[in-house]
Amino acid sequence: MNHLLRGVARAISEAFELPGPILEIGSYQVAGHWAANDLRPFFPNQKYIGLDSRAGPGVDRVGNVEELPFEDGSVGTVVSLSAFEHVKRFWRGFEEVHRVLRPDGAFVVACPFFFRIHHFPDDYWRFTPSALKALLERYPSKILGWHGPRHRPANVWALAFRERRPAITEAQFASYQALLNEYAREPLSWHRCVRYAVARLLCGRGPFASYLERNRVETICQNSTAPSLLRAQTLAS
């Protein structure tokens, strides 16, 4: 998880009232990244369960998302950032999340698209915005987002609500956008900024677009019961 995705999670937690208990899938906190990976401070008054396939920091319960050890409709919110690329049968994981969520539950998920292969324990998949949209078709109210160049996003994410949750309002979406502007940023050291600027002058923007546009964020709000609320917005890089 990077700083921008952590900002996305913070924006969602502040813009929307998310029901508990909170289940985080892929909660293992990798050494050296504990502060960035710890999402618990965003849900201070909720029961929080961290699940991962291995024991360690941030893990309350060892389990497999393809067969979640929870009863039907027993979880209020599922959060999974940068985990489903490691799930061999990811479609089973999405089915399991839907099964354990309450009828008014929420699913917050982020997956990489343009990113290096990384093994925890293995790396299987990449997801486009359209892929997440298709996987979340059963959720009538949702927000999709991605950052980076329009045709080569770095990460994609979604907030999806089940059928008994009221549709996302324009006010909620506006609040979410404002919080994204405040929190969702990927910092870059000054010497890298200088190097990329020089390289851009010599080679053009194309080869360095993924770095130069890393903070370019797009979001879409979609409610099946109120199509007029469909919105898209680009945040300045």
The domain over range 3-235 is classified in CATH as 1.10.3210.10: no
Nearest to 106 by CA among 32, 172, 151, 192: 172
Q: Are 158 and 108 in contact (CB under 8 A)?
A: yes
Tokens of 4: 């921008």
- Residue-wise pLDDT for 137-194, tens only, equals 999 999 999 998 888 899 999 999 999 999 999 899 999 999 999 998 876 665 666 6
Average pLDDT, the chain: 87
- Residue-wise pLDDT for 78-96, tens only, equals 999 999 999 999 999 999 9
Q: Tokens 């910092």 belong to which residue? A: 187
What residues form DSSP beta bridges with 50? 24
Averaged pLDDT for residues 54-74 = 96
Nearest to 15 by CA among 177, 182, 222, 223: 177
* The pLDDT of residue 237: 47
Any idea what the Cα angle at residue 162 is, between residues 2 and 98, rounded to 5°?
70
Q: 87 φ, ψ to 5°?
A: -95, 115
- Alpha carbons 133 and 200: distance in angstroms, whole number: 34
